[in-house]
Structure 1
Amino acid sequence: MTSDDVVLRRADDSDARPAADTWLRSFAAALPTVRCAHDAADVRDWFAHVLVPQYETWVAVTGSEVVGVMVINGGEMKQLYLDPAWRGRRLGDRFMSLAKEQRPEGLALWTFQVNEPAHRFYERHGFIAVERTDGTRNDEHEPDVRYVWQPPPAP
């Protein structure tokens, strides 16, 4: 199955648990050296009561399985996580195209400094690192970097 077989759609309440589980699997695989600040029950609660009902949450679905999640709030991409089996299969590219369509005026995001694959991914999509912090403002207390994407100027 390819990423073309995956449907990207807005999440509904029934997607909260599988989206949270995808987030948990992805976080563990992509960030093995980063301490997750919240246990699985808290993450599931956060998806069910905050992310899905209050933010623009998108899921990637194949069959009945959620294999990716993206969350946007205003001009900020809050989350972009893929099931580990779906990394490197262009699904992230599809999410990024969708995010830029939804926010053509620009996007910003934070990622951890240790997440070098994420840096390469975002930079490939035109994001520029604009700030680095020591992590005191995030729940994990992990040094992070802020990226910004601005659309090219109109000719």
Structure 2
Amino acid sequence: MSHPIIRPARADEYDEIARVWMESWVSTGLAEASNFLLANLRARVRREIEDGWTLYVADDNGTIAAMLALHLPKLYLDQLFVAPAYQGQSLGRELLAFTRVQMPDEIELRCVRENEKAWRWYEREGFVFENEEISPVTGFTMKCYRWRRQPAE
């Protein structure tokens, strides 16, 4: 595999992005793949872009290896999902570094409480737990995190 390039997503890729999102979400063990889930994610990608998402992909020579959804005005990392075939190769860390370039001073995110692998990773990456809340979109209990740039010494 070559090294994926992070770039803005194109509208003609939204369905494939939703498929990668579903496969990555299913890999957490918190959901099962289904046509219903895929249809919901496809609709959600379009709706969230209308509501302010800036959507990026990690492109591996035409294969979408990951998706990253940011809400830049809110300093919010909304979604970061790496396709199962690309997990464990530091692509998530590269996407997070890219996010820190886009939002260099502060980033907020939420992570499903049961997705322990993800929230522990964010904690290792310097995010600080703030509180829990129920997602009005999914109904999941979400752990809320924030990262702030440390002032120079």
TM-score interval (norm. to shorter): 0.7 to 0.9
Question: CA separation in 1, counterparts of 2:49 and 2:5?
Answer: 20
Q: Is the 8 A contact 1:106 1:149 kept in 2?
A: yes
Q: Which residue of 2 aligns with 1:150?
A: 148
Deviations 1:28-83 (A, max 9, x none): 111425899x6321211222343388421110111211110011102000100110
Q: Which moved more, 1:109-118 or 1:42-51?
A: 42-51
Deviations 1:1-35 (A, max 9, x none): 26xx1111011112211111100111111142589
User: Can you give the 5+ residue segments of structure 1 that lack an aligned partner in the other structure?
Assistant: none
Identity of aligned residues (%): 22
Question: CA separation in 2, counterparts of 1:90 and 1:102?
Answer: 19
Structure 1 consecutive aligned stretches of length 4 or more whose deviation exceeds 3 Å: 33-36
Aligned partner letter, 2:100: K
Q: Which residue of 1 aligns with 2:124?
A: 124
- TM-aligned CA distance change 1:97 to 1:85, over 3 Å: same
Q: Which residue of 2 aligns with 1:96?
A: 96
Aligned partner letter, 2:42: R
- How many positions carry a matched residue from both structures? 150
Higher relative contact order (CA 8 A, sep 6+): 1
Aligned partner letter, 1:28: V
TM-score (norm 2): 0.88
Deviations 1:105-135 (A, max 9, x none): 21000001111111121112110101123x2
User: Can you give the 5+ residue segments of structure 2 that lack an aligned partner in the other structure?
Assistant: none
Aligned partner letter, 1:86: Y
Aligned partner letter, 2:80: L
Q: Which residue of 2 aligns with 1:70?
A: 68
Q: Which residue of 1 aligns with 2:87?
A: 87
TM-score (norm 1): 0.87
Question: CA separation in 2, counterparts of 1:145 and 1:29?
Answer: 19
Aligned partner letter, 1:154: A
Question: CA separation in 1, counterparts of 2:118 and 2:67?
Answer: 15
